[in-house]
Amino acid sequence: MTRSGSPGSAAVATAGAAVVPLALAQFICSYAASNMNVAISTIADDIGTTVTGIQTTITLFTLTMAALMIPGSKLTDIWGRKVCFIAGLTVYGAGALLASFAQGLPALIIGYSLLEGIGSALLIPPIYILVTVLFDDVRSRAKYFGIVSGAAGIGAAAGPLVGGLITSAISWRASFLLQVLVVAVVAVLARRIDDPPLPAERPTFDVLGAVLSAAGLFFVVFGILQTSTLGWASARVWILVAIGAVILAVFFAYIRAREKGGRTPLVSISLFANRTSNLGLVTQNLQWLVLLGSSFVISVYLQQQRGYSAIETGLMLLPATVGLLISSALAQRMAGRHSQRRLVRAGFGGTVAGLALLGLVRADPGAVWTFIPGLFVLGLGVGVMLTASVNLVQSAWPEETQADISGVSRSVSNLGSSLGVAIAGSVIAGASAHFGRPFAVAIVVLAAFAMVGWIAALLIPRPVEAVPGPTA
């Protein structure tokens, strides 16, 4: 396999062949997480459910990804990255096709939340593993992580606009058929990916570890999701969260014991001993929490409070997409001039500023322009740090650890997406009942999470570049 360090056009051709389908696949997965926000009311009315039902569906999609991302990444060491990538595309496409014909909430959950979630958990880890193992130096890797991470951010940011256009012009069902089409194109392009050979001796799959990690994450997020209807003071909510926490504690004890016994665990406990990587994971989680949470809050506000249509809601979110596009396009140049640590800090700073501007939006239905500055700055901030945090975490580990850290990284990011929608929905419900200003309260809560991310970025050790990178 030609690596990025190799001279000549062969390396360029290899890079282009690999990165285009990988970036497109990441785009469609991120698009799926946000495009439904602008059609919440339309879908709820069409299939006979509620806004809460659609919120649950969206949260379960990202939760399924988060819960299965680590097992999915482990399978790349067993089946191969390209095999997992193609298998994920197949499952994802089947789920999108089923969702497009859903006549009720159960079918939508099976197709969208479960099958698309499982497919994403299989196809996303190979994307980041391949970028890491194909490109040796930090600058080249930053460039291609910039393309892939930018595709993720753009998919999430453009989802409301594209979804709004399709929903208004055709139907929300057509948005799922678009995903089927894109997945088919990616599958064709993926034939050109030359997967580096795996070691002759491959690890076994830790079934019990996979079940424990998935169950623990599910109960934690599902408990938080229940706050939308039960409130944060509900004993049932905290019982569910406690069950999840206990299962996760058992999971960590189990993988520690398994590793000490000389057996291959689902994920090595040593992956959580690197301070740079740990703080990078925290920033990844909070980036996606804020991005998906703010998209959900603004979409619900515009549709429920201002009566906007799907296309109007998508157009209102366009400034965030533009901001994210600009900063993602500059990712490689910024990586060459600034440390990853500085970029993550700056990104969270911009995100907090954007949310502060959004918190000042007036309730005047005619004051459309008041959204533009906050959304644009928010998009800029998120785009600045998306690539930097991924590069920070992946480059902290050698090549033989990339499957494990990629799974953990993607799981943490998608867990942030799940928590963002779940927490945003619960805050909206609680603020409506107690404060009467759900939009403002939700924005303040998201800004607080962004501040925590900024603090985590401040604690990232210096210099970041001193952390050992992958071996050639």
pLDDT at 89 (0 to 100): 95
- Rounded to the nearest 10 degrees, what angle do helices 51-79 and 207-225 cross at? 160
3-state SS, residue 319: helix
Sequence-separated contacts (24+) of 46-50 with Cβ below 8 Å: 46/172, 47/102, 47/103, 47/104, 47/105, 47/108, 48/104, 48/105, 49/104, 49/105
Indicate the pTM of the whole model: 0.76
Q: What tokens does 316 get?
A: 């209102």
Of the two residues 467 and 279, the one the predictor is more confident about is 279
Any idea which residue has 């322009």 for tokens?
Answer: 369
Nearest by Cα to 31 from 136, 175, 129, 128: 175
- Rounded to the nearest 10 degrees, what angle do helices 9-34 and 117-134 cross at? 150
pLDDT in tens, 193-228: 877 777 777 778 889 998 998 899 889 888 887 877
Residue 120 is classified by DSSP as H
Average pLDDT, the chain: 82
Angle at 363 between CA 358 and CA 365, to 5 degrees: 110
Measured between alpha carbons, how far is 49 from 54 in angstroms, rounded to an integer? 8
pLDDT in tens, 107-136: 999 999 999 999 998 998 888 788 777 776
Check: CB of residue 190 under 8 Å from CB of residue 178: no
Task: For residue 10, name the pLDDT band (cuts at 50, 70, 90).
Answer: low
Check: CB of residue 26 under 8 Å from CB of residue 124: yes
Residue 305 is classified by DSSP as I
Any idea which residue has 């069409």 for tokens?
Answer: 46
Measured between alpha carbons, how far is 433 from 426 in angstroms, rounded to an integer? 11
Q: What tokens does 448 get?
A: 């607080």
Residue 112 is classified by DSSP as I
pLDDT at 42 (0 to 100): 85
